[in-house]
Structure formats: C-alpha cells, structure tokens
Chain A
Amino acid sequence: MTKLTMGPIAYHWSAERRRDFYARIADEAPVDEVYLGEVICSKRAPFQEADLPGIIERLERAGKTVVLSSLAEVMLRRERKATEDLASMEAPEIEINNAAGLYARGTRPHRIGPFMNAYNEATIRWMASKGATHVCLPTELPAPSIAVAARMARDIGLGVEVQVFGRASLAVSARCYHARSHGRTKDNCQFVCEEDPDGMPLRTRDEQPILRINGIQTQSEGYLILLQELPQLVADGVSHLRLMPQAVDMVTVAEVYRAVLDQSMSTEAAEARLRQVCADTPFSNGFYHGQAGYRRIAQASLA
C-alpha cells in the first residue's frame, strides 16, 4: 500500500509550534512516516534538539515510523559534526541529504534525501549498492524519468518517494537571504527567519509573487500539488508520497491525500478541499509535466 509521509519542517518554527504540530500529526494525521530534524540551517538545530526525543517517542507511540533527516549543506565544523553524529545512529532510520553523510554512513542502511540528486537509475543503483534502502527523487524530475527511476528502484527493493504537497525547494546557498533582507549576515542573523513560518515572499518589480525565502533556501511561491497524478505515480512504483509541512492545516491535507489514495474522494473534491485549506497560495505541478515549475497543468481526465 502506498504510504504517506510528512517531510521535515523546512522553516524555523518555534519549539512550541513544533511540539504542537507533531502532537497533532501523531494523534490525527493519517501519515505513515514522519521525517524530523533540521535540514536547512545548522544554526537552528539547537532550538529543536531538546524536544526531539519526546517528539520521536510520541510519534512512534502513535504508530508512525520516524526518520531523521540530515543537513543539506555541510561546510562548517558544527555541520560536519552534526552529520557525523547522525550517521552513527542505529535507530531511528536516517535520511541523508549530503555526500558528507554518505561518507560517514558507509554501507550501513540509510535513505537518500531529495537534496542528493538521485536523478537516474545508474545513480540510484550505485547508491543502493552502498546501503541505500529508499530514495526520495528530486522535485524537478519530470514524469517519464520518475517512471524509469521508480520502476528500477522498486525492482531492486528500494522504497521510492516523491513530494506531492508543499513548496518546492528551488535552491540552497551558503548565504542567508533572510538575514540579507534585514541588512545582516548569516553569523549575525538573530534568527529573523522565525518571523516567516511559511517563508518570506519575494515579488518581482511588477508586483508578481514569485519566490519564498527560507534562510539559505529559496522555495517556490506556489505549493507543488500532485493529485490527479497520484494514480500514475503509484502505477510507476512510487511507494511513498511526501507532504511538506506548510503553515496550513496539515492534518486536513494528509486526510485529503489519504482519501484520494483510498479512492474515497475524487481528485476534484480533493483539490477543492485543499483550496480551502491553502487560501490564496497558487498550486503548481509544472515540474512533473516537464513544464515551468510554477505552472498549473490541467490534465485531461484519465479515461
């Protein structure tokens, strides 16, 4: 059966907000697996670490599989240390987002995160030979390539995951753009990113919303939403569907996706429900259809 996962929180939510969020996910959200941990900015990690054991325990008690995600960017000493520490864990499972993590992990089992650029069957096969058990495909991969990669990965026994909800990660940098927008540097950021729990909107000079800033990360303005595409994803061998936490009612989002997977809700009804939950945020699925990522491609109904 296709599993629903909750990806790691990309934003700098307060400790209280995180605790509340995961309590609701544990109690109410029909997701099977939850990714935890700071992926974007190593400066934020200390704010979460104290609560992590409690959150893990809570989620596992609710029957969720917990996976710890590693940093996407590893450069500084503290980032190298954090990656090495994570790679040394026996449980829970870990998802690796940087080659430094692969090096530290060796051939012990691990998942491949979306920042690892597992774009093709040759790379996935290589990673599997080094202990990867599961791969999250890059967000920009178009449908024909997802099909090829997923079938191959499934055939050699890997879990295959695709993001189906939430802002797409478009870039990461060594520079913090949240700090920059406030005239600060990364070292002197004063955690100003906490002010934007769904990212800081950037508009073009024609007042067109275009991107979201999240610390060192740049995200899409639109929420990537794959709904009508779910049957094809499942048919191609995708075993896990990832929901990225946004500052909306994620329990309802998870319920909608579960209902569509269980065929108890039509994609039209599901989209209407997500529209209510997500207010004015544009929806996009261009990457999947090989078009500009921001685009919303209406698919002819699957006969």
Chain B
Amino acid sequence: MSLAELICPAGTPAALRTAVDAGADAVYCGFQDATNARNFPGLNFTPQELAEAVAYAHAKGAKVLLALNTYPPAGKVDLWRQAADTGARLGVDAFIVADMGVAEYIARNHPDIRLHLSVQAAASSPEAIRYYCENFGVKRVVLPRILTIPEIRQIRKEIPCEIETFIFGNHGLMVEGRCSLTNYLTGQSTNLDGVCSPASDVEYVRAEDGTMASKLAGFTIDRFGPDEKAGYPTICKGRYTAAHRSDGYYAFEEPISLNLARLLPELIDAGVHAFKIEGRQRSKSYVRAVVSAFRNAVDEIRAGRTADIANLVALTEGQKQTQGAFATKKWR
C-alpha cells in the first residue's frame, strides 16, 4: 500500500527544521561539496550541522536522506566514499545515489542503510530500475519527470522497489544525469560538480527600457520585458531563434514549475510510495508554504476527503505551473 510519504528539501539547517516542523516525513539534503547536485554557494550542510539535523529530525519522527547524487570523476572517487562514510556515521536513514561505483561502495560497506536511486540515474524503465535493485539492493527509485501516470502504474507492477515521484518544483526538461549544457557554457559540470547555471556565471543586465537580460557566462539566455515574469537562468528555460523561428522562442521549455497537487489521488492509486518536493536552493519561506500545503493535502486524502490545495502559484518559476508529462503524452 502506498504510504504517500512527503519528501522535502532542505538547503540549510534552518530549512530542515522548517520542513520537519511543517510535517515532512523525510527531508533530503547534502554536504557543502560536489557530492550532491545542489552544490550552490552558501547552501548545504557541514558534517556538524548534519549531525544536529539528524538529531532534530529523528526526535520529531522524520527521516533524513543524504543526497550523494552526482558522478565522481575518475581520481576523485574518495570524496564520495568519505561522504557516504560520514553520512553513515551520523545516522542518516538513506543515501540517494546515481553513480554505479558509489552505489556499489555503499552496498558493500554500509549494507544496513537504505539506497535510493536518484533521478540523476535516469532509470525510466522497469529493466533499468531492476538493474539497480538486483545489483545494489536499491529500495526506492526516484522516477524521471517524463512518465505519464499509466506508465508509472505499469512500472510499479514490474519492479521490486518503492517509487518516489516529484510533485512540485523545478520542472527538469532534460534527462537528469545526462545533461552537460551548463558545462558547455561555464566549465562547471552538473554531473561532476553538482552545479546547474552556477551563480558565479550568471548576470542580470538591465536596459533603460526596463527589459532584463539574463546571461550565463556572457551568453544571453533570455530577455524579459519590463513586466514579464522571469525564471531561472538555465539554458533549458531560455529563448532562442532558429531559421524558421526568428521571433525568439522557448526552444525547450518556458519558465514553469511542476505542480501535481490535483493528481495526488491518482498517483497514490498508481502505487507511488513517496512524493518529492523539489527546491533545496529555495528559502525557508518556500519550504514552509509548500510542505504545509502538501502535508495538509496528503492527510486529507488519506482520511478519505477531497484535498483543498493551497494556491502555490506565486512560488512557481515564471509564476506558471504545469502537470508536465504526468497528465498527457502530448507534453513530449
């Protein structure tokens, strides 16, 4: 049976406490280095902070999941191994991994700690998921945001592990763990360094007429009119021109966030075990609002009532939301 656990983001210890207090069943977080995919300036946990965070969460009945979901480049594998050892010592409840070498290390050295397969592993078929389950004992897969609900239901029938799906936040367009766009423009890699459009390479430039250009490493990713809503300065949410599209169009996706609030009952029915809220890079305010809203919604649904979902559109990218691939194949 689906437990509909709520898995919530924490970029700082304060955000972790906020998430736990707002009703998170589990919180995911990472260290202040390349071992996780939100290696952003001023974000994440020192080992000491993680120790305190684990104590806080456990005292309130919440779990802590440690994201080790990047890919170590050859010669630097020890950093990931040490992070796993530290996490094990501090008592985290699960590791979220993508790299096979990292998964194998944890399966061998910390067999009592649960392994979750990160979305960064891009396992989107029953066979791929079974590969990780059978070889590394993976207990849960975080599915890529590219599947319809009927497809998720079908996968559930064919795999031996739990399913976690994203329900809110950044709407990743590219297959996670297979994207080098940031590295192509900045020299910093999403897979190897844990960055995506690093702030050190982002610049917002205003013109006299009030338009704003968002630039990454000097390349103009988008230009917004004075009153146009904006998004993250990521390459996959930029506007470009093509020979037959001289107007400048969103070649990949417009600034928009995923919000599956209205699909929660269907997802539960399809066998999804855990709901993930994206946003370790967001503020406590975001964490408080989103976690509270979904905590309330899940509790209502479990009690057999219709959930009244709070309006979260103000927190979305571009102030727009979508059900993405979950609702229709036409999204592809």
Q: A residues touching B (Cβ–Cβ < 8 Å)?
A: 72-75, 79-80, 83-84, 98-100, 102-104, 115, 117, 119-127, 130, 138-142, 144-149, 152, 168-177, 180-182, 185-187, 200-208, 210-211, 213, 218, 220, 286-287, 290-295
Contacts and interface: CB of A to CB of B under 8 A. Distances in A.
A80 B173 CA distance: 21
A106 B76 CA distance: 28
A161 to B, nearest CB: 15
B227 to A, nearest CB: 18
Given A145-B74, A208-B220, A75 B178 contact: no
12 contacts: A80-B126, A99-B128, A120-B99, A122-B99, A124-B74, A145-B76, A146-B74, A171-B180, A204-B241, A208-B220, A210-B240, A295-B187
Interface residues of B, number: 72
A77 B104 CA distance: 29
A110 to B, nearest CB: 13
Interface stretch (B9-17, B290-298, B309-317, B323-331): B323-331
Given A170-B179, A181-B242, A123 B99 contact: yes
Interface in B215-250: 217, 219-223, 235-236, 238-245, 248-249
Nearest to A220: B184
Contacts of B146: 75, 173-175
B5 to A, nearest CB: 25
Contacts, number: 223
B56 to A, nearest CB: 33
Contact of A119 (B121, B192, B244): B192
Contact of B183 (A79, A148, A200, A287): A287
Contact of B173 (A103, A175, A292): A175
- The CB with the most chain B CB atoms within 10 A, among A103, A141, A176, is that of A103
A294 B121 CA distance: 25
A203 B241 contact: yes
The 6 A-B pairs of least Cβ separation, nearest first, read A122-B101, A174-B146, A123-B101, A293-B184, A149-B74, A99-B128
B242 A202 contact: yes
Nearest to A127: B100
Contacts of A286: 184, 187
Contact of B332 (A103, A186, A294): A186
A187 B328 CA distance: 12
Contacts of A74: 124-125, 127-128
Contacts of B240: 202-205, 210-211
A100 B104 contact: no
Contact of B192 (A84, A140, A169, A182): A140
Nearest to A153: B74
Contact of A80 (B72, B104, B125): B125
* Interface hub of A75, A115, A141, A169 (most chain B Cβ within 10 A): A75
Contacts of B178: 72, 115, 117, 171-172
A205 B184 contact: no
A98 B147 CA distance: 17
Contact of A174 (B101, B105, B144): B144
Q: Is the interface of A mostly helix, strand, loop or mixed?
A: mixed
A207 B132 CA distance: 44
Contacts of B329: 185, 187
B73 interface: yes
Interface string B68-80: 0001111111000
A205 B241 contact: yes
Contacts of A141: 73-74, 192
Given A120-B76, A292-B185, 18 more contacts: A99-B127, A100-B128, A117-B178, A119-B71, A120-B101, A141-B73, A145-B76, A169-B180, A174-B325, A181-B244, A186-B332, A187-B330, A202-B241, A204-B241, A205-B222, A205-B240, A218-B252, A286-B187
A173 B241 contact: no
A58 to B, nearest CB: 32
B204 interface: no
Nearest to A87: B127
Contacts of A126: 100-101, 104
A202 B253 CA distance: 14
